[in-house]
Copies of this chain bind each other. A is one copy, B any other.
Amino acid sequence: MKYLAAPALFLALATSASAEAGPMTITRSGSHPVQRTPAANCTGDVRFIQLAPVSSPHRSSSTSVTFARGARTAWHSHPGGQTLVVTSGTGWIQAWGEKRQEIRVGDTIWTPPGVKHWHGATATAGMTHLTIQGIVDGRVVDWNEKVSDEQYK
C-alpha cells in the first residue's frame, strides 16, 4: 500500500496507552493501527496514528499525520491551539488571509486557538508531521470547508 512507502518515522510511531493509572506501557514501532482522516475533512490521502489520545491526562492529544503529495486538510481551527513538528518531507501551511508558506523537516509551527488554516503536503512531495493540540470541552479541532485546488496552488 502506498503509505507503506512513507518515511520510516511515520510507520514507526505508535500510540501510548490511554489509561491514567497502571504500569509504564511501551508500544513498539509499527504496532499501532494507521487510521484514515475522513474524506469530509481532507483532500487526497491523509493517514495518521494516535500518539496520545483525546482522553489523555495531558489535556492534549497528539498524532503523527502523513500526507501524500497533493493531500491537505480542510480549512479548520483548533480551540486549544496546535503545535506541529515536521518530521519528514516538505509541506505547505496557510493561515486565512495570509500567504501560503513552505515547511520542512524540523520546522515547528504554532497556530493559536481559533486561527483558521490548513496544512498538507506540497503538490510534488509528501509530508509527515507530529501534532499536539489542546483539548477544550472535549474538542481538539473545528472543521470548515475544503481547500479548493485554486486555494491550494
Contacts and interface: CB of A to CB of B under 8 A. Distances in A.
Contacts of A16: 83, 108-110
Contacts of A112: 19-24, 57
Given A112-B19, A113-B57, A106 B11 contact: yes
30 contacts: A8-B105, A9-B105, A11-B106, A13-B85, A13-B106, A14-B106, A14-B108, A16-B83, A16-B109, A19-B112, A21-B112, A23-B95, A24-B98, A24-B111, A24-B115, A24-B117, A25-B110, A27-B108, A27-B110, A28-B107, A51-B83, A52-B132, A56-B81, A57-B112, A57-B113, A58-B60, A58-B81, A59-B134, A87-B87, A132-B132
